[in-house]
Structure 1
Amino acid sequence: MSDSTKWIMLGALSLLLGLLVLGNSVLATIAVTTLTGAALMVSGAFQIVGGLANTESVSRKAFGVLMGGMMGLLGLNFLFRPLEGAISLTMLILILMVASGFLRLVFAWRLRSTTFFWPLLPSGIISLFLADYIWKNFSTATLTLLGVMLGIELLLNGGSLIVIGVSGRDRSDVPR
Protein backbone atom coordinates (compact mmCIF):
# COMPACT_ATOMS: atom_id res chain seq x y z
CA MET A 1 0.00 0.00 0.00
CA SER A 2 1.41 3.37 -0.99
CA ASP A 3 1.93 6.24 1.40
CA SER A 4 -0.66 8.39 -0.38
CA THR A 5 -3.26 5.65 0.06
CA LYS A 6 -2.50 5.52 3.79
CA TRP A 7 -2.95 9.30 4.07
CA ILE A 8 -6.28 9.09 2.22
CA MET A 9 -7.51 6.20 4.41
CA LEU A 10 -6.51 8.06 7.58
CA GLY A 11 -8.29 11.17 6.31
CA ALA A 12 -11.43 9.18 5.52
CA LEU A 13 -11.36 7.67 9.02
CA SER A 14 -11.00 11.13 10.52
CA LEU A 15 -13.95 12.38 8.42
CA LEU A 16 -16.08 9.43 9.54
CA LEU A 17 -15.21 9.97 13.20
CA GLY A 18 -15.93 13.69 12.82
CA LEU A 19 -19.40 12.91 11.49
CA LEU A 20 -20.01 10.46 14.34
CA VAL A 21 -18.88 13.02 16.90
CA LEU A 22 -21.11 15.71 15.39
CA GLY A 23 -23.98 13.21 15.48
CA ASN A 24 -23.70 12.94 19.26
CA SER A 25 -21.93 16.04 20.48
CA VAL A 26 -23.17 15.66 24.07
CA LEU A 27 -21.48 12.27 24.44
CA ALA A 28 -18.37 13.69 22.75
CA THR A 29 -18.36 16.61 25.21
CA ILE A 30 -18.41 14.16 28.13
CA ALA A 31 -15.61 12.17 26.46
CA VAL A 32 -13.50 15.32 25.99
CA THR A 33 -14.06 16.28 29.63
CA THR A 34 -13.14 12.79 30.82
CA LEU A 35 -9.98 12.70 28.70
CA THR A 36 -9.05 16.15 29.98
CA GLY A 37 -9.47 14.89 33.53
CA ALA A 38 -7.29 11.86 32.86
CA ALA A 39 -4.61 14.03 31.24
CA LEU A 40 -4.68 16.42 34.20
CA MET A 41 -4.29 13.52 36.63
CA VAL A 42 -1.33 12.10 34.73
CA SER A 43 0.38 15.48 34.41
CA GLY A 44 -0.31 16.16 38.09
CA ALA A 45 1.40 12.89 39.01
CA PHE A 46 4.42 13.81 36.87
CA GLN A 47 4.47 17.26 38.46
CA ILE A 48 4.52 15.70 41.93
CA VAL A 49 7.35 13.34 40.96
CA GLY A 50 9.24 16.24 39.41
CA GLY A 51 8.69 18.33 42.51
CA LEU A 52 9.94 15.57 44.81
CA ALA A 53 12.99 15.05 42.60
CA ASN A 54 13.84 18.77 42.67
CA THR A 55 17.08 19.32 44.58
CA GLU A 56 17.37 23.10 44.13
CA SER A 57 15.40 24.25 47.17
CA VAL A 58 12.67 23.21 49.54
CA SER A 59 10.34 25.96 48.30
CA ARG A 60 10.59 24.76 44.69
CA LYS A 61 10.01 21.21 45.82
CA ALA A 62 6.94 22.26 47.81
CA PHE A 63 5.64 24.36 44.91
CA GLY A 64 6.01 21.46 42.47
CA VAL A 65 4.24 19.05 44.80
CA LEU A 66 1.49 21.57 45.56
CA MET A 67 0.87 22.36 41.88
CA GLY A 68 0.87 18.65 41.01
CA GLY A 69 -1.62 17.95 43.76
CA MET A 70 -3.90 20.74 42.55
CA MET A 71 -3.69 19.45 38.98
CA GLY A 72 -4.49 15.94 40.17
CA LEU A 73 -7.49 17.16 42.17
CA LEU A 74 -8.75 19.12 39.16
CA GLY A 75 -8.37 15.99 37.05
CA LEU A 76 -10.32 13.95 39.61
CA ASN A 77 -13.04 16.58 39.58
CA PHE A 78 -13.25 16.41 35.78
CA LEU A 79 -13.39 12.59 35.90
CA PHE A 80 -16.06 12.25 38.57
CA ARG A 81 -18.07 15.37 37.72
CA PRO A 82 -17.92 15.65 33.93
CA LEU A 83 -20.78 18.16 33.68
CA GLU A 84 -18.98 20.58 35.98
CA GLY A 85 -15.80 19.98 33.99
CA ALA A 86 -17.66 20.74 30.76
CA ILE A 87 -18.92 23.99 32.33
CA SER A 88 -15.36 24.93 33.28
CA LEU A 89 -13.95 24.10 29.86
CA THR A 90 -16.76 25.96 28.09
CA MET A 91 -16.12 29.03 30.24
CA LEU A 92 -12.40 28.77 29.48
CA ILE A 93 -13.12 28.63 25.73
CA LEU A 94 -15.43 31.63 26.08
CA ILE A 95 -12.77 33.66 27.89
CA LEU A 96 -10.13 32.69 25.33
CA MET A 97 -12.41 33.63 22.42
CA VAL A 98 -13.13 37.05 23.91
CA ALA A 99 -9.44 37.67 24.59
CA SER A 100 -8.31 36.53 21.14
CA GLY A 101 -11.09 38.53 19.46
CA PHE A 102 -10.09 41.73 21.22
CA LEU A 103 -6.40 41.11 20.53
CA ARG A 104 -7.09 40.54 16.84
CA LEU A 105 -9.05 43.79 16.68
CA VAL A 106 -6.24 45.66 18.43
CA PHE A 107 -3.65 44.17 16.06
CA ALA A 108 -5.89 44.91 13.08
CA TRP A 109 -6.18 48.54 14.19
CA ARG A 110 -2.41 48.82 14.62
CA LEU A 111 -1.83 47.24 11.20
CA ARG A 112 -4.59 49.16 9.40
CA SER A 113 -2.24 50.50 6.74
CA THR A 114 -0.92 47.03 5.85
CA THR A 115 -2.37 44.04 4.05
CA PHE A 116 -2.82 42.28 7.39
CA PHE A 117 -5.70 44.56 8.37
CA TRP A 118 -8.44 42.81 6.39
CA PRO A 119 -7.68 39.23 7.49
CA LEU A 120 -7.43 40.27 11.16
CA LEU A 121 -10.51 42.48 11.34
CA PRO A 122 -13.18 39.91 10.39
CA SER A 123 -11.37 37.24 12.36
CA GLY A 124 -11.59 39.33 15.53
CA ILE A 125 -15.21 40.26 14.90
CA ILE A 126 -16.20 36.63 14.28
CA SER A 127 -14.46 35.52 17.49
CA LEU A 128 -16.38 38.12 19.48
CA PHE A 129 -19.69 37.17 17.84
CA LEU A 130 -19.05 33.49 18.58
CA ALA A 131 -18.18 34.33 22.19
CA ASP A 132 -21.39 36.36 22.45
CA TYR A 133 -23.38 33.45 21.02
CA ILE A 134 -21.82 31.02 23.50
CA TRP A 135 -22.53 33.41 26.38
CA LYS A 136 -26.17 33.88 25.41
CA ASN A 137 -26.67 30.11 24.99
CA PHE A 138 -24.34 28.96 27.74
CA SER A 139 -26.51 26.12 29.07
CA THR A 140 -26.81 24.55 25.62
CA ALA A 141 -23.23 25.33 24.70
CA THR A 142 -21.97 23.62 27.84
CA LEU A 143 -23.42 20.31 26.70
CA THR A 144 -22.44 20.53 23.04
CA LEU A 145 -19.60 23.00 22.41
CA LEU A 146 -16.65 20.74 23.15
CA GLY A 147 -18.14 17.91 21.08
CA VAL A 148 -18.91 20.22 18.15
CA MET A 149 -15.39 21.65 18.28
CA LEU A 150 -13.92 18.13 18.32
CA GLY A 151 -16.12 17.10 15.40
CA ILE A 152 -15.15 20.13 13.34
CA GLU A 153 -11.48 19.52 14.13
CA LEU A 154 -11.79 15.89 12.99
CA LEU A 155 -13.52 16.97 9.76
CA LEU A 156 -10.88 19.59 8.98
CA ASN A 157 -8.10 17.15 9.86
CA GLY A 158 -9.63 14.48 7.62
CA GLY A 159 -9.97 16.88 4.72
CA SER A 160 -6.36 17.97 5.10
CA LEU A 161 -5.10 14.38 5.22
CA ILE A 162 -7.05 13.50 2.09
CA VAL A 163 -5.58 16.51 0.26
CA ILE A 164 -2.09 15.42 1.35
CA GLY A 165 -2.77 11.89 0.13
CA VAL A 166 -4.19 12.97 -3.23
CA SER A 167 -1.38 15.44 -3.83
CA GLY A 168 1.13 12.73 -2.90
CA ARG A 169 0.08 10.62 -5.85
CA ASP A 170 1.44 13.23 -8.23
CA ARG A 171 4.44 14.52 -6.30
CA SER A 172 7.31 13.16 -4.31
CA ASP A 173 7.58 15.96 -1.72
CA VAL A 174 4.80 14.64 0.54
CA PRO A 175 5.92 13.79 4.09
CA ARG A 176 6.68 10.10 4.55
Structure 2
Amino acid sequence: MSDWLKWLLLGLLTIVFGIIVLGNTVIASIAVVTLTGILLLVAGAFQIFGAFTVEGAGNKILSFIMGAIMLFLGWSFLAHPLQGVISLSMLVIILFMAGGIARVILSFQMRGTQFFWPTLISGILSMVLAAIIWNYATAEPAAMLNLLGILLGIEMLFNGFGLVFMALFVKGAGNELKQA
Protein backbone atom coordinates (compact mmCIF):
# COMPACT_ATOMS: atom_id res chain seq x y z
CA MET A 1 0.00 0.00 0.00
CA SER A 2 1.41 3.37 -0.96
CA ASP A 3 2.11 6.09 1.61
CA TRP A 4 -0.45 8.52 0.20
CA LEU A 5 -3.17 5.87 0.43
CA LYS A 6 -2.33 5.22 4.10
CA TRP A 7 -2.63 8.96 4.84
CA LEU A 8 -5.91 9.10 2.91
CA LEU A 9 -7.39 6.17 4.84
CA LEU A 10 -6.24 7.67 8.15
CA GLY A 11 -7.81 11.00 7.19
CA LEU A 12 -11.11 9.38 6.20
CA LEU A 13 -11.16 7.33 9.40
CA THR A 14 -10.48 10.45 11.47
CA ILE A 15 -13.37 12.24 9.71
CA VAL A 16 -15.70 9.31 10.47
CA PHE A 17 -14.65 9.31 14.14
CA GLY A 18 -15.10 13.09 14.25
CA ILE A 19 -18.68 12.67 13.04
CA ILE A 20 -19.28 9.93 15.62
CA VAL A 21 -17.87 12.17 18.37
CA LEU A 22 -20.12 15.06 17.28
CA GLY A 23 -23.07 12.67 17.49
CA ASN A 24 -22.20 11.77 21.10
CA THR A 25 -20.65 14.92 22.57
CA VAL A 26 -21.46 14.20 26.22
CA ILE A 27 -19.96 10.71 26.04
CA ALA A 28 -16.93 12.13 24.23
CA SER A 29 -16.55 14.82 26.92
CA ILE A 30 -16.64 12.18 29.65
CA ALA A 31 -14.10 10.09 27.69
CA VAL A 32 -11.78 13.12 27.53
CA VAL A 33 -12.09 13.62 31.30
CA THR A 34 -11.54 9.91 31.97
CA LEU A 35 -8.42 9.83 29.80
CA THR A 36 -7.18 13.04 31.44
CA GLY A 37 -7.76 11.48 34.87
CA ILE A 38 -5.80 8.36 33.95
CA LEU A 39 -2.93 10.41 32.55
CA LEU A 40 -2.87 12.62 35.65
CA LEU A 41 -2.72 9.53 37.90
CA VAL A 42 0.19 8.08 35.92
CA ALA A 43 2.02 11.42 35.77
CA GLY A 44 1.44 12.00 39.49
CA ALA A 45 2.82 8.58 40.38
CA PHE A 46 5.94 9.21 38.28
CA GLN A 47 6.31 12.69 39.80
CA ILE A 48 6.18 11.28 43.34
CA PHE A 49 8.63 8.53 42.41
CA GLY A 50 10.88 11.20 40.94
CA ALA A 51 10.69 13.17 44.19
CA PHE A 52 12.79 10.49 45.85
CA THR A 53 15.50 10.74 43.20
CA VAL A 54 16.05 14.51 42.89
CA GLU A 55 18.74 16.43 44.75
CA GLY A 56 17.90 19.06 47.37
CA ALA A 57 15.17 19.19 49.98
CA GLY A 58 13.29 21.99 48.19
CA ASN A 59 13.21 20.08 44.91
CA LYS A 60 12.05 16.93 46.70
CA ILE A 61 9.23 18.77 48.45
CA LEU A 62 8.11 20.60 45.30
CA SER A 63 8.21 17.42 43.25
CA PHE A 64 6.23 15.52 45.89
CA ILE A 65 3.61 18.29 46.16
CA MET A 66 3.19 18.46 42.36
CA GLY A 67 2.82 14.67 42.22
CA ALA A 68 0.25 14.70 45.00
CA ILE A 69 -1.75 17.42 43.22
CA MET A 70 -1.71 15.43 39.98
CA LEU A 71 -2.81 12.28 41.83
CA PHE A 72 -5.64 14.19 43.50
CA LEU A 73 -6.81 15.73 40.20
CA GLY A 74 -6.62 12.37 38.42
CA TRP A 75 -8.60 10.66 41.17
CA SER A 76 -11.09 13.54 41.23
CA PHE A 77 -11.67 13.38 37.45
CA LEU A 78 -12.19 9.61 37.60
CA ALA A 79 -14.41 9.71 40.70
CA HIS A 80 -16.52 12.68 39.51
CA PRO A 81 -16.39 12.78 35.69
CA LEU A 82 -19.29 15.25 35.26
CA GLN A 83 -17.63 17.80 37.54
CA GLY A 84 -14.39 17.11 35.66
CA VAL A 85 -16.11 17.94 32.38
CA ILE A 86 -17.24 21.27 33.81
CA SER A 87 -13.76 21.98 35.21
CA LEU A 88 -12.01 21.21 31.94
CA SER A 89 -14.64 23.18 29.99
CA MET A 90 -14.00 26.21 32.20
CA LEU A 91 -10.28 25.75 31.60
CA VAL A 92 -10.91 25.74 27.83
CA ILE A 93 -12.87 29.01 28.12
CA ILE A 94 -10.07 30.58 30.16
CA LEU A 95 -7.44 29.39 27.65
CA PHE A 96 -9.45 30.75 24.70
CA MET A 97 -9.73 34.13 26.42
CA ALA A 98 -6.08 34.22 27.52
CA GLY A 99 -4.88 33.17 24.07
CA GLY A 100 -7.05 35.83 22.46
CA ILE A 101 -5.78 38.56 24.78
CA ALA A 102 -2.17 37.47 24.18
CA ARG A 103 -2.65 37.58 20.38
CA VAL A 104 -4.27 41.03 20.54
CA ILE A 105 -1.33 42.34 22.58
CA LEU A 106 1.12 40.64 20.21
CA SER A 107 -0.62 42.13 17.18
CA PHE A 108 0.14 45.66 18.36
CA GLN A 109 3.81 44.74 18.42
CA MET A 110 3.41 43.76 14.75
CA ARG A 111 1.82 47.04 13.73
CA GLY A 112 2.91 48.06 10.27
CA THR A 113 3.56 44.48 9.12
CA GLN A 114 1.43 42.11 7.07
CA PHE A 115 0.82 40.04 10.22
CA PHE A 116 -0.94 42.77 12.22
CA TRP A 117 -4.51 42.30 11.00
CA PRO A 118 -4.58 38.48 10.89
CA THR A 119 -3.12 38.30 14.40
CA LEU A 120 -5.49 40.97 15.74
CA ILE A 121 -8.53 39.35 14.14
CA SER A 122 -7.63 35.86 15.39
CA GLY A 123 -7.16 37.24 18.91
CA ILE A 124 -10.49 39.05 18.84
CA LEU A 125 -12.25 35.96 17.47
CA SER A 126 -10.82 33.81 20.28
CA MET A 127 -12.06 36.31 22.87
CA VAL A 128 -15.48 36.49 21.21
CA LEU A 129 -15.66 32.69 21.11
CA ALA A 130 -14.78 32.50 24.82
CA ALA A 131 -17.47 35.10 25.60
CA ILE A 132 -20.10 33.26 23.52
CA ILE A 133 -19.29 29.95 25.21
CA TRP A 134 -19.35 31.62 28.64
CA ASN A 135 -22.74 33.28 27.93
CA TYR A 136 -24.20 30.06 26.63
CA ALA A 137 -22.81 28.05 29.55
CA THR A 138 -24.17 30.45 32.17
CA ALA A 139 -27.60 30.52 30.50
CA GLU A 140 -27.64 26.75 30.02
CA PRO A 141 -25.17 25.03 32.41
CA ALA A 142 -25.80 21.60 30.89
CA ALA A 143 -24.20 22.92 27.69
CA MET A 144 -20.81 22.64 29.40
CA LEU A 145 -21.20 18.85 29.21
CA ASN A 146 -21.11 19.10 25.41
CA LEU A 147 -18.24 21.57 25.01
CA LEU A 148 -15.26 19.22 25.17
CA GLY A 149 -16.96 16.71 22.86
CA ILE A 150 -17.84 19.41 20.35
CA LEU A 151 -14.29 20.76 20.35
CA LEU A 152 -12.84 17.24 20.04
CA GLY A 153 -15.19 16.39 17.16
CA ILE A 154 -14.40 19.61 15.31
CA GLU A 155 -10.66 19.07 15.81
CA MET A 156 -10.98 15.51 14.49
CA LEU A 157 -12.82 16.78 11.40
CA PHE A 158 -10.19 19.47 10.74
CA ASN A 159 -7.39 16.96 11.30
CA GLY A 160 -9.08 14.39 9.06
CA PHE A 161 -9.56 16.85 6.21
CA GLY A 162 -5.95 18.00 6.67
CA LEU A 163 -4.76 14.41 6.35
CA VAL A 164 -6.89 13.86 3.23
CA PHE A 165 -5.50 17.00 1.61
CA MET A 166 -1.96 16.01 2.57
CA ALA A 167 -2.50 12.55 1.06
CA LEU A 168 -3.70 14.07 -2.20
CA PHE A 169 -0.73 16.44 -2.19
CA VAL A 170 1.71 13.55 -1.61
CA LYS A 171 0.05 11.58 -4.41
CA GLY A 172 0.32 14.59 -6.74
CA ALA A 173 3.93 15.25 -5.76
CA GLY A 174 4.80 11.60 -6.39
CA ASN A 175 3.22 11.73 -9.84
CA GLU A 176 5.16 14.91 -10.68
CA LEU A 177 8.45 13.30 -9.63
CA LYS A 178 7.74 10.27 -11.84
CA GLN A 179 7.05 12.51 -14.83
CA ALA A 180 10.27 14.54 -14.34
TM-score in terms of structure 1 length: 0.92
Q: Which residue of 2 aligns with 1:38?
A: 38
Q: Which residue of 2 aligns with 1:97?
A: 96
State how far apart, in whole Å, the 2-side matches of 1:110 and 1:164 are.
33
SS across alignment from 1:114: coil
Matched, 1:72 2:74: no
Deviation track 1:71-93 (CA, whole Å, cap 9, x = no partner) reads 01100000110111111111111
**Correspondence 1:2-151 to 2 at 5 A:** 2-54=2-54, 56-138=55-137, 139-151=141-153
Residue 118 of structure 1: how far off its partner (Å): 1.2
Residue 4 of structure 1: how far off its partner (Å): 0.9
List runs of 5+ in structure 2 lacking aligned partners. 175-180
Farther off after superposition, 63-72 or 31-40? 63-72
CA contact (8 A) 1:90 1:141 kept: no
Residue 112 of structure 1: how far off its partner (Å): 2.4
Q: Which residue of 2 aligns with 1:155?
A: 157
Residues paired across the two proteins, number: 171
Residue 59 of structure 1: how far off its partner (Å): 2.5
Partner letter of residue 149 of structure 1?
L
Deviation track 1:136-161 (CA, whole Å, cap 9, x = no partner) reads 12214411111011101111111111
Q: Which residue of 1 aligns with 2:177?
A: none
TM-score in terms of structure 2 length: 0.90
State how far apart, in whole Å, the 2-side matches of 1:120 and 1:34 are.
34
CA contact (8 A) 1:32 1:146 kept: yes
State how far apart, in whole Å, the 2-side matches of 1:124 and 1:140 are.
27
State how far apart, in whole Å, the 2-side matches of 1:89 and 1:105 are.
24
Residue 114 of structure 1: how far off its partner (Å): 1.3
State how far apart, in whole Å, the 2-side matches of 1:166 and 1:108 are.
34
Deviation track 1:91-139 (CA, whole Å, cap 9, x = no partner) reads 1111111111112112222322111111012111111111111111221
CA contact (8 A) 1:15 1:159 kept: yes
Give 4+ residue runs of structure 1 displaced > 3 Å after superposition: none
